[in-house]
Structure 1
Amino acid sequence: MTAIHWFRRDLRLGDNPALHAAADEGDVVALYVLDPRLWAAAGAPRRAYLARSLAALDAQTGGRLLVRRGDPCDVVPSLAREVGASGVHVAASVEPYGRRRDGALERLLADEDVPLVRTGSPYAVTPGRVRNGSGNPYQVFTPFRRAWHEHGWRSPAPDAVATARRVAFADAGPGELVPDAPVPDGLELPTAGEAAALERWAEVLDDRVARYADERDRPDLDSTSRLSVPLKWGEIHPRTILADLASRRGEGAETFRSQIAWREFHADVLLHHPRAVRESMTPVVPEDAWATGAREQEAFDAWASGRTGYPLVDAGMRQLRHEGWMHNRVRMVVASFLVKDLHVRWQRGADHFMAWLVDGDVPQNQLNWQWVAGTGRDAAPYFRIFNPVTQGTRFDPDGRYVRRWVPELRDVPGRAVHEPWKLPRSAAPDYPERLVDHARERAVSLGAYQSMR
């Protein structure tokens, strides 16, 4: 018998229980569907990375990854008929689009007497399973984290080497070549694929985890894992990470585990509130508080190009354009600046991030933006406003991060780099003046918030 394993957000062989479930039925057709809707929405950096990850996966399957382009509701049933598939195996999708697509596909496959078999998900605990004592989903992170940890998760499935020995990949005939999506000019992508992800995690586990609690907020240090990219594409599963962390003690390991829990919390929230992809879960300011027209566009363009006059904000936005990635502390600062200093709706910022982030992931991106905007499921309200200067002096104390990404300020010494407007203009003649005054715009945001109470 032959089964189809449809790779989606699990671009790996190791720790892939859905792939093993397919292998239990016989030979496996390894399928990836280039969904035009998702391909167009991905943004050039993510498309380029995906192409390289698929190439790595194709090599792992011995060149037998079948790539087909089209609506999965057309492609998958057609292939099932071609190969006489006994089943189509997937890791469950929990995002709004994926759930609708899989529901429609399941009905179509049922007409062919072919089951759509869901095994596992991209999360250690599949969203929807963690509930409070009343059987309702959690609304706040801290109690969710406790319940999530108490719920626990399965041990990892066999690794890539063991999987490759066990799974017989079938040649299903002609498909498309793995796409060669170009890398945008000036963008440096990390190495894609399962092997690179596992190598990165091994380095982090051996070196960075112990320092993680103390250094994770420092963009000037290489102390974060950068695993958000392989986690997004499923080149590594969070269960693998959690299994390795179980043998580690200390605040660093616990803080790292909490970051995995945040990822799972956001997926859980979006499962129960699918409209949060575009809608604020809690409106916090009147509609007339938002910038509009030319004023909004000018502010947004300056922010997106890293020309606001606030060094930490500009460094982050330039890093995004160069790496398709941004340090998490800086993501919070630049998001707060857009929403609460420039008064631009969070949705515009979220869209920009999704266009440029290689790790752009709907639950994490949209819910993190709502967290910063104060509109999401969080105990802290709208008046959380990040000061871009104090954030810079605290987390980039010597200015190394700013100087790396903002060359106009490379000759400015020490912490002065975070307040260049206090220096003579000759100290940084090519750096823009401040777009707005933070203290004034903070007061405007707080006034708008109070008017809704």
Structure 2
Amino acid sequence: MTSLWWIRRDARLNDNPALLEAQGDGPAAAVFAWSPAVRLWSGRRRAHLARVLWSLSEDTGRSVGVRHGDPADVVLEAAREVGATVVCAQHEYSPSGLREQRAVEEALTHDGRHLRLVGSPYAVAPGRVLKADGTEYQVFTPFRRAWRDHGWRRPAAPADPRGFVPVSSDIDLDHDAALGDIQDPLGYPPPFTETAWLERLSDFVAGPLAQYTSERDLPNVDATSRMSIPLAYGQVHPRTLLAAAEDAATANPDLSASAATFTSEVAWREFHANVLFHHPDALRTSLRQVIPDDAWATGKEADDAFDAWRDGRTGFPLVDAGMREMAATGMMHNRVRMVVASFLIKDLHVPWQRGADHFRRGLLDYDDAQNQLNWQWVAGTGRDAAPYFRVFNPDGQGDKFDPLGAYVRRWLPDLDTPAYPERIVDHQQERQIALADFTRGKRPSPQS
């Protein structure tokens, strides 16, 4: 009996429990639903997704079906076509992912079929790491400790690339990739095959991992894994990353400190997913209020400031370099992400949601939990967030993490020319305004 693998955020052959479950009794069919939600993605994200799915299809002998439509309709239709009574899929925990799998499960159940959820996009599924009293962790460090104590399995065995039953597609992935490129071009397209990302991971643990603790905050140094993109599309599982770091440290104990730091960064990803699982409203709503509502800039002045930030013409080199890097590559170094987010919120007084929306359009590695909760971290509104009174100084951050100016010169060819814009605000003045707003926000409301 053929089983159907419903491809979600797990477009890979390695370390994929849901796919292995589908292939448990022989060749499986596979389908991906190009849903209305995907059609709303930015052109660059749709183009990259199309290439990811094309690569997966090539790896499986062009057997993967990619079809337009709601997942419930697409999955049910494919299950009927191949005679699958069981559909295997990865469990999702985001608000949209939970809604999607409930709809698919209902459609299959009404048709006498079964949705079997196996595995998740995390080393430890959200909701599993709880305090002794059964409540969620609100602070990262004790969460990380409990997360490590919980542990995770070693990566699963690779699936059989020949073990697929062909499923037809009604979408031209080449066309969608080209269309996305036209609508939202990238100057530096990233790798899009699972093999290329696994090679990148191998190169990372063999090289940059050794200096990861000391160099990961330097935007001009190739010191990070760059795994956020394949994680976002499911081409690499976090278990694979954790095992690679652990194995490297076992083989070379000198790497233990760097491997622990790298593991901690994976834990932050899982912490944010856990927070969103417990608080789905955190996608749009601050988990706590830190400044009065009247502190936010509004009107044309706010729009003009946002446009200057978005276009990388604020006059602050590190901020502008980061925004131009994202425009050109769909990526931005994590240290710089914190700086540009702080600048938008605390120098320009624009709500974090507006910045998060722009990152959703601009970043290739966009992930609901990571994007929204990282913005809330900078805004001081999230769980275990940076306090609102922590205001990043763009110049100080540049001096510390890009002391030779190599990063800003790479992305700002106009930096030392008359074409480079004047500063749109005085940082010290805006910092004082932000701190005054924070102080006002701490005052008790007047009694009515």
The interval holding the TM-score normalised by the smaller chain is over 0.9
State the AA in 1 paired with 2:439: Q
The TM-score, its normalising length taken from structure 1, stands at: 0.93
State the AA in 2 paired with 1:444: I
Q: Which moved more, 1:31-40 or 1:313-322?
A: 31-40
**1:94 aligned onto 2:89:** no
Partner of 1:445: 434
Question: The residue matched to 1:192 in structure 2 has which SS?
Answer: coil
Residue by residue over 1:279-306, the C-alpha shift from the partner in whole angstroms, topping out at 9 and shown as x without a partner, is 0111111111001110110000000000
For residue 45 of structure 1, report the CA deviation from its aligned partner. Answer: 1.4
Question: The residue matched to 2:282 in structure 1 has which SS?
Answer: helix
For residue 355 of structure 1, report the CA deviation from its aligned partner. Answer: 0.2
The TM-score, its normalising length taken from structure 2, stands at: 0.94
Question: Equivalents in 2 of 1:322, 1:347: separation in Å?
Answer: 22
Question: The residue matched to 1:407 in structure 2 has which SS?
Answer: coil
The alignment's C-alpha RMSD in Å is: 1.2
Contact 1:289-1:343 at 8 Å conserved across structures: yes
Question: The residue matched to 2:177 in structure 1 has which SS?
Answer: coil
Contact 1:31-1:67 at 8 Å conserved across structures: yes
**1:164 aligned onto 2:160:** yes
Query: Which of 292, 303, 307 in structure 2 is aligned with 1:286?
Result: 292
Query: Which of 304, 307, 312 in structure 1 is aligned with 2:313?
Result: 307
For residue 222 of structure 1, report the CA deviation from its aligned partner. Answer: 1.3
Q: Which moved more, 1:104-113 or 1:207-216?
A: 104-113
Question: Equivalents in 1 of 2:232, 2:287: separation in Å?
Answer: 24
**1:106 aligned onto 2:112:** no
When residues 75 and 185 of structure 1 are mapped into structure 2, their CA distance, relative to the original with a 3 A threshold, is closer
**1:177 aligned onto 2:166:** no
For residue 199 of structure 1, report the CA deviation from its aligned partner. Answer: 0.6
Q: Which moved more, 1:274-283 or 1:176-185?
A: 176-185
Question: Equivalents in 2 of 1:378, 1:100: separation in Å?
Answer: 27
**1:254 aligned onto 2:260:** yes
For residue 223 of structure 1, report the CA deviation from its aligned partner. Answer: 1.0
Question: Equivalents in 2 of 1:199, 1:380: separation in Å?
Answer: 35
State the AA in 1 paired with 2:296: W
Question: Equivalents in 1 of 2:370, 2:38: separation in Å?
Answer: 17
Partner of 1:383: 389
For residue 91 of structure 1, report the CA deviation from its aligned partner. Answer: 0.7
**1:273 aligned onto 2:279:** yes
State the AA in 2 paired with 1:146: R
Question: Equivalents in 2 of 1:39, 1:233: separation in Å?
Answer: 16
State the AA in 2 paired with 1:294: K
Contact 1:25-1:86 at 8 Å conserved across structures: no
Residue by residue over 1:199-242, the C-alpha shift from the partner in whole angstroms, topping out at 9 and shown as x without a partner, is 11011010011100000000121111111001111111110111
For residue 84 of structure 1, report the CA deviation from its aligned partner. Answer: 1.6
When residues 4 and 294 of structure 1 are mapped into structure 2, their CA distance, relative to the original with a 3 A threshold, is same
State the AA in 2 paired with 1:253: A
Partner of 2:252: none
Question: Equivalents in 2 of 1:407, 1:198: separation in Å?
Answer: 33
For residue 308 of structure 1, report the CA deviation from its aligned partner. Answer: 0.2
Contact 1:187-1:324 at 8 Å conserved across structures: no
Q: Which moved more, 1:398-407 or 1:96-105?
A: 96-105
**1:10 aligned onto 2:6:** no
Partner of 2:127: 128
Question: Equivalents in 1 of 2:369, 2:138: separation in Å?
Answer: 15
Residue by residue over 1:414-452, the C-alpha shift from the partner in whole angstroms, topping out at 9 and shown as x without a partner, is xxxxxxxxxxxxxx3111111000000000011011101
Residue by residue over 1:336-390, the C-alpha shift from the partner in whole angstroms, topping out at 9 and shown as x without a partner, is 0000000000001000001010001110000000000000001542111100000
Question: Equivalents in 2 of 1:96, 1:337: separation in Å?
Answer: 29
Question: Equivalents in 2 of 1:186, 1:156: separation in Å?
Answer: 33
**1:338 aligned onto 2:383:** no
Question: The residue matched to 1:14 in structure 2 has which SS?
Answer: coil
Question: The residue matched to 2:6 in structure 1 has which SS?
Answer: strand
For residue 174 of structure 1, report the CA deviation from its aligned partner. Answer: 5.0
Partner of 1:59: 58
Percentage of matched positions with identical amino acids: 53
Contact 1:28-1:169 at 8 Å conserved across structures: yes
For residue 405 of structure 1, report the CA deviation from its aligned partner. Answer: 0.4
Q: How does 1:76-95 map to 2 (within 5 A)?
A: 76-95=75-94
Question: Equivalents in 2 of 1:238, 1:174: separation in Å?
Answer: 29
Residue by residue over 1:53-90, the C-alpha shift from the partner in whole angstroms, topping out at 9 and shown as x without a partner, is 11110111101010111011211112222222121111
For residue 178 of structure 1, report the CA deviation from its aligned partner. Answer: 2.5
When residues 448 and 174 of structure 1 are mapped into structure 2, their CA distance, relative to the original with a 3 A threshold, is closer
Stretches of structure 2 that go unaligned for 5 or more consecutive residues are 250-254, 443-448
Contact 2:186-2:330 at 8 Å conserved across structures: no
Stretches of structure 1 that go unaligned for 5 or more consecutive residues are 413-427
Question: The residue matched to 2:325 in structure 1 has which SS?
Answer: helix
Partner of 2:445: none
Residue by residue over 1:238-273, the C-alpha shift from the partner in whole angstroms, topping out at 9 and shown as x without a partner, is 101111211314221111100100000000000000
Residue by residue over 1:149-188, the C-alpha shift from the partner in whole angstroms, topping out at 9 and shown as x without a partner, is 00000111113xxx226x6200234543325323233532
State the AA in 1 paired with 2:420: Y
Contact 1:212-1:252 at 8 Å conserved across structures: yes
Contact 2:291-2:440 at 8 Å conserved across structures: yes
Partner of 2:188: 188
Q: How does 1:7-86 map to 2 (within 5 A)?
A: 7-40=7-40, 42-86=41-85
**1:245 aligned onto 2:245:** yes
When residues 346 and 211 of structure 1 are mapped into structure 2, their CA distance, relative to the original with a 3 A threshold, is same
Question: The residue matched to 2:61 in structure 1 has which SS?
Answer: coil
Question: The residue matched to 1:58 in structure 2 has which SS?
Answer: helix
Contact 1:336-1:373 at 8 Å conserved across structures: yes
Contact 2:378-2:386 at 8 Å conserved across structures: no
Question: Equivalents in 2 of 1:136, 1:250: separation in Å?
Answer: 32
Contact 2:377-2:385 at 8 Å conserved across structures: no
State the AA in 2 paired with 1:155: R
Question: Equivalents in 2 of 1:91, 1:359: separation in Å?
Answer: 19
For residue 137 of structure 1, report the CA deviation from its aligned partner. Answer: 1.1
Question: Equivalents in 2 of 1:379, 1:64: separation in Å?
Answer: 45
